[in-house]
Structure 1
Amino acid sequence: MSDLESATDPRLGANLSKENVVLRVDDLQKSFGGLVATDHATFEVERGTITGLIGPNGAGKSTIFNLISGFYEPDAGRVEVNGTDVTGAEPYEVADHGLIRTFQTPRKLEGMTVREAMLVGPRKQPGESFVKLFTSPGEVAESESRNLADAQRILEEFEIDHLATQPATDLSGGQMKLVELARAMLAEPEVLLLDEPVAGVNPTLRNKLAEQVRRLNEQGTTFLLIEHDMEFVMNLADPVVVLDRGSVLMEGTPDEVQSDDRVVEAYLGGGT
């Protein structure tokens, strides 16, 4: 799909989701050769929540993230953001509809300071248009000035403004994850997907990341997160969706999930 705004695409414009559902995953299926990675997965993310997505290794969590964010195309099923079908859209098109994601291993942008790396975050920048650089230089300059001010404000809110002039490649893994989360907020996400946000992060930065996610959620940001650190998930997320062998096993509160025999069996038996 080249243009999600195309009026000729019959998938678009149908507001099928409930008002409080920002992300709907409906009957997603994906196989790689003979391996079924996602098997009729269905769940919803309600606006204003921190929704956890957990499961044993091989349960299909990363595949679902890639399907939702446009990096994989599903064999069948549907993904909606705010009621708009974005199934099979390119990643930048999905992002334009407000679904932003981070990655387990953040990309360190060579030759950029932290401040410059932050400026990659905003969506639909007029400076991305070659034509507007010449036809609307004032609009481009105003946008760049606004983005720079927003980047500085967010760095200060994350208490990492002291890193602004440092080369991004000099940061530790944990610092880079904080910067990536901060950069994602510049895109003003409707829903933010966090892929293993505290994997390989020391306890101090782990706690800081948890504080920032909680703060942003209290300010209105909706999250869907994958994380193997169960303490991190159970302290932050509600509800929690459990995957096993590519399917949704159950959904519930952290207490319900931790006391469910099916979840215990899935983790003890391992995924495929």
Structure 2
Amino acid sequence: MTDSQASQVANNDSSSEEQAANDERAANMDKENVVLRVEDLVKSFGALVATDHASFEVERGTIMGLIGPNGAGKSTLFNLISGFYESDAGRVTVNGTDVTDMEPYEIADHGLIRTFQTPRKLEGMTVREAMLVGPREQPGESFIKLFTDPESVREREQRNLKDAQEILEDFEIDHLATQPATKISGGQLKLVELARAMLAEPEILLLDEPAAGVNPTLRKKLAEQIRRLNEQGTTFLLIEHDMEFVMSLADPVIVLDRGHVLMEGTPDEVQNDEGVIDAYLGG
């Protein structure tokens, strides 16, 4: 064997070892009870590839964290999954239903609900009224049913009011019910948004930086509510920059870097992975 051939063999072996290591670190795409599946999702903005063949699965009943350095493509990925952006390639399924080309409200009807990093303040509404925006498929949204079936509209509105009050009490924010939705603090608004999302009875709830801008006391309360809801059966996928917050809640954790999935692992595995450390340090 010539030196050139030996060098080629060594390079091939090195490449195979690197590929095997990457495969071992990649997202687990063989979970048993999958509520959300993302396959080879791609999105570019001109020359910028924001999401680069991202693939992962979220297992029912878990809290999965999605982390990555600034510019990793986390918010773009959320917008693609929830229908606010149209993907260039790839597929998103919720409970086995392909929702890739659906509008956000159609995806929500299949049980995927999301919150936003900056909650929208609903002008002219009390907190209780803002809560009532949450439930899906309300008959009162149909102009025709207001006249043809007013009784069902009334019954559903009464049930929604009862459910909203119960959830506000569960979240220990029922004292805010009559407050203007624009006058409460940012942390309280995050709690209200989470509570409102639960009125939609989500199969999976996507949280976009729930702890951002929230004081330590309310951040602790948010974490407690997420754990409580998860114990009651709600599945979560959350983006978060606060490492202490996400690592105390999520298992597994997905790491996104430059639009692709760098690895999936337990919080300990992720925090001690050299590739993750390099990504955060710009290595």
TM range (shorter): over 0.9
- Write the deviation string for residues 152-207 of structure 1: whole angstroms up to 9, x where unpaired: 00000000000000000001100000000000000000000000001010000000
- Contact persistence 2:51–2:259 (CA under 8 A): yes
Residue in structure 2 matched with residue 121 of structure 1 by the alignment: 134
- Contact persistence 2:31–2:59 (CA under 8 A): no
User: Is 1:176–2:209 an aligned residue pair?
Assistant: no
AA partner of residue 72 (structure 1): Y
Q: Secondary structure at the match of 2:195?
A: helix
- The equivalent position to 1:75 in structure 2, one of 85, 88, 91, is 88
Return the TM-score normalized by structure 1. Answer: 0.92
- Contact persistence 1:30–1:76 (CA under 8 A): yes
Q: Hey, what's the Cα distance between the residues in 2 that align with 1:84 and 1:223?
A: 18
Residue in structure 2 matched with residue 250 of structure 1 by the alignment: 263
Residue in structure 2 matched with residue 87 of structure 1 by the alignment: 100
Residue ranges of structure 1 left out of the alignment (5+ in a row): 1-16
Q: CA RMSD in A?
A: 1.0
Deviation at 1:19, TM superposition (A): 5.8
Residue in structure 1 matched with residue 250 of structure 2 by the alignment: 237
- Contact persistence 2:31–2:57 (CA under 8 A): no
Q: Hey, what's the Cα distance between the residues in 1 that align with 2:246 and 2:80?
A: 22
AA partner of residue 20 (structure 1): N
Q: Hey, what's the Cα distance between the residues in 1 that align with 2:253 and 2:101?
A: 25
- Contact persistence 1:96–1:123 (CA under 8 A): yes
- Contact persistence 1:190–1:222 (CA under 8 A): yes
Count of aligned pairs: 254
- Write the deviation string for residues 13-32 of structure 1: whole angstroms up to 9, x where unpaired: xxxx9761000000000000
Q: Secondary structure at the match of 2:101?
A: coil
Q: Counterparts of 1:134-173 in structure 2 under 5 Å? A: 134-173=147-186
User: Is 1:211–2:224 an aligned residue pair?
Assistant: yes
Q: Hey, what's the Cα distance between the residues in 1 that align with 2:32 and 2:94?
A: 11
Residue in structure 2 matched with residue 104 of structure 1 by the alignment: 117
User: Is 1:63–2:76 an aligned residue pair?
Assistant: yes
Q: Secondary structure at the match of 1:170?
A: coil
Q: Hey, what's the Cα distance between the residues in 1 that align with 2:87 and 2:207?
A: 20
Q: Secondary structure at the match of 1:181?
A: helix
- Contact persistence 1:72–1:88 (CA under 8 A): no
Residue in structure 1 matched with residue 52 of structure 2 by the alignment: 39
Q: Hey, what's the Cα distance between the residues in 2 that align with 1:74 and 1:99?
A: 17
Identity %, equivalent residues: 85
AA partner of residue 107 (structure 1): R
Q: Secondary structure at the match of 2:51?
A: strand
- Contact persistence 2:43–2:51 (CA under 8 A): yes
AA partner of residue 69 (structure 1): S
Q: Secondary structure at the match of 2:72?
A: coil
Instruction: List, as ranges, runs of 4+ consecutive aligned residues in structure 1 with deviation greater than 6 Å.
Output: none
Q: Hey, what's the Cα distance between the residues in 1 that align with 2:149 and 2:40?
A: 44
Q: Secondary structure at the match of 1:167?
A: coil
Return the TM-score normalized by structure 2. Answer: 0.89
Deviation at 1:35, TM superposition (A): 0.3
Q: Secondary structure at the match of 2:35?
A: strand
User: Is 1:197–2:214 an aligned residue pair?
Assistant: no
AA partner of residue 253 (structure 2): V
Q: Secondary structure at the match of 2:155?
A: helix
Q: Counterparts of 1:18-57 in structure 2 under 5 Å? A: 20-57=33-70
Residue ranges of structure 2 left out of the alignment (5+ in a row): 1-29
Q: Hey, what's the Cα distance between the residues in 2 that align with 1:19 and 1:256?
A: 22
Q: Secondary structure at the match of 2:264?
A: strand
Q: Hey, what's the Cα distance between the residues in 2 that align with 1:189 and 1:231?
A: 26
Q: Hey, what's the Cα distance between the residues in 2 that align with 1:125 and 1:112?
A: 18
